Amino acid sequence: MSNYTPVIGLEIHVQLATKSKMFSRCSADWFGKKPNTVVCPVSLGLPGALPVPNKKAIEWAILIGMALNCKQNKVSKFDRKHYFYPDLPKGYQISQYDEPFSFDGFYEFTSKATGQLKKVRIKRVHLEEDTGKLIHNGEQTLVDFNRAGVPLVEIVTEPDFDNSEDVKQFLEELQTIIRFLEVSEADMEKGSMRLEPNISLRKDGETDLPNYKVEVKNINSFNFAKRAIDFEVKRHEELLKNGETPAQETRGYNESKGITVSQRVKEEAADYRYFPEPDIPPFEFDDAFFTHIREMMKELPHEKVKRYVDMGVSQDDAYILTRDREGSKKFDALLDSLEHDIVGKAASLVVNKKVGMDAEAIKAMLRPKETDEGLLNEVVDRVVFENAAQVESYRNGKESLLMFFVGQVMKGMKGQADAQKVQEVLKEKLK
């Protein structure tokens, strides 16, 4: 009996957080707004309205490509992609076909699933416009064009994944990168980051791509991505073992049932009748333009991890500290006021939530102290007496107040006490 290996590629859409839309200076702040109020002649596709590209959106799209180690096309253009759907007012989407801004990149990460270094090839990173939003309502579908024309970056990977764990980890790390670049909130629930995996199976040991693939849409969390892929892999396996080939199609993920459902037979690429967008002159970028974008590059999460590790932080702690932009910024600020030799221990305290991002508190915790136990008992008694209300809340279960008491006692001890010891005595007296 033969076994199968999944072959998974990803198409990821990221909405850019520009102020204005991709091809008009209509506001791009569409989320939660009254339907069809954040629209203009261009985003509604009114006859005669002419698109003018948003410079910032182009710079940010190229920046994402650079962060994913892509090459850049010096000559590029936009193209029209044609299809009829009610969320697309012009009957075509302005996208990029054969000259995307970025192509041929890669991203590497240490797989939590296999422990191995995983390299994923990035096929292309291009820029396009988002479509309107459809709300299905009984026999009708309601169309809101507020989202139409918002800049959308499409990132396409090669089919280099063979398990759903790696997909989930890659998506989480990609989201972190996008957020570090400060070009999008990349929020799956709000739809500013969207994912369409394409999945097929081949026999173990084979290297040719299977003769079919299934695309899954309507996935709005990383966990659902994993579950949808796992569901598909199992479904394909059963079909293949019965001698059938799964149909080439688009399926939608139903999160309440945890299954995928056939949506439509996929149109062939040629059916989109791509041709160069005649209303937007082409681009011929010079080195100065790319240099300007490279200067916008931020320190990326994996670079930050390396810097922290070089300063004595453990690999695991460094990884955890670099998962969100604000947290890592706070840790960076903290580093300025810590001596080099305690950085590793400080990181561990912060990661394990023993202490907040407070240099003085960290130093106090790490400083070995001679504690005057007699004085400590006196101070603790006084603090307990003076803060009766907090003591009651603590005894009723609000344990987070412990740090408040520690602070009060440390103040009373003028910092001359071992924090560990202070906690022990406090816990005893607060029983």
Figure out which of the listed residues 15, 54, 164, 328 binds another protein, where binding follows CB under 8 A. 54
Q: What is the DSSP letter of 147?
A: G
Cα 193–Cα 196–Cα 198 angle in degrees, nearest 5: 155
Nearer to another protein, 33 or 325 (CB): 33
- Per CB under 8 A, which region of 22-30, 207-215, 255-263, 366-374 contacts another protein? 22-30
Alpha-carbon span 153 to 151, nearest angstrom: 7
Alpha-carbon span 13 to 344, nearest angstrom: 37
- Structural contact between residues 285 and 71, judged by C-beta atoms closer than 8 angstroms: no
Cβ 253 to another protein, closest distance in Å?
27
- Start-to-end CA span in the chain (Å): 63
98 binds another protein (CB under 8 A): no
64 binds another protein (CB under 8 A): no
- Per CB under 8 A, which region of 1-9, 104-112, 280-288, 388-396 contacts another protein? 280-288
163 binds another protein (CB under 8 A): no
Figure out which of the listed residues 3, 19, 112, 190 binds another protein, where binding follows CB under 8 A. 19
Phi, psi for 335 (deg, rounded to 5): -55, -30
What are the C-alpha distances in Å from 424 to residues 343, 362, 373, 382, 407?
A: 25, 18, 12, 16, 14
* Number of residues that this document lists for the chain: 431
Number of residues interacting with another protein: please give it, by CB under 8 A: 36
Alpha-carbon span 29 to 158, nearest angstrom: 32
Cβ 215 to another protein, closest distance in Å?
20
Cα–chain-centroid distance for residue 275?
A: 32
278 binds another protein (CB under 8 A): yes
56 binds another protein (CB under 8 A): yes
Figure out which of the listed residues 97, 274, 283, 290 binds another protein, where binding follows CB under 8 A. 283
61 binds another protein (CB under 8 A): no
Cβ 273 to another protein, closest distance in Å?
7
- Per CB under 8 A, which region of 40-48, 230-238, 242-250, 311-319 contacts another protein? 40-48
Residue 334: how many other CB atoms lie within 10 Å:
19
Figure out which of the listed residues 25, 71, 241, 398 binds another protein, where binding follows CB under 8 A. 25
282 binds another protein (CB under 8 A): yes
Residues 285-324 that bind another protein (CB under 8 A): 285
280 binds another protein (CB under 8 A): yes
Closest CA to 375 of 413, 420, 424, 407: 413
- Structural contact between residues 89 and 132, judged by C-beta atoms closer than 8 angstroms: yes
Question: Residue 415, SS3?
Answer: coil
Rg, C-alpha atoms of the chain: 27
72 binds another protein (CB under 8 A): no
Two tokens, residue 175:
């989201």
Residue 155, CB-side half-sphere exposure with 13 Å CA sphere: 33
What are the C-alpha distances in Å from 43 to residues 26, 52, 132, 136?
A: 8, 11, 9, 21
Q: What is the DSSP letter of 142?
A: E
258 binds another protein (CB under 8 A): no
39 binds another protein (CB under 8 A): yes
Alpha-carbon span 105 to 10, nearest angstrom: 14
26 binds another protein (CB under 8 A): yes
Cβ 82 to another protein, closest distance in Å?
8
273 binds another protein (CB under 8 A): yes
415 binds another protein (CB under 8 A): no
57 binds another protein (CB under 8 A): yes
Figure out which of the listed residues 37, 114, 141, 337 binds another protein, where binding follows CB under 8 A. 37
Nearer to another protein, 38 or 417 (CB): 38
48 binds another protein (CB under 8 A): no
80 binds another protein (CB under 8 A): no
Identify any residues that bridge with 199 across adjacent strands, giving them in sequence order: 8, 214
Nearer to another protein, 275 or 382 (CB): 275
**H or E element that contains 143:** strand 140-144
Q: What is the DSSP letter of 365?
A: H
Cβ 89 to another protein, closest distance in Å?
14
**H or E element that contains 423:** helix 419-429
276 binds another protein (CB under 8 A): yes
Nearer to another protein, 17 or 383 (CB): 17
Alpha-carbon span 83 to 210, nearest angstrom: 27
239 binds another protein (CB under 8 A): no
Nearer to another protein, 72 or 260 (CB): 72
Q: Contact positions toward another protein, by CB under 8 A?
A: 18-20, 24-28, 36-42, 52-58, 77, 82, 84, 271, 273, 275-276, 278, 280-285
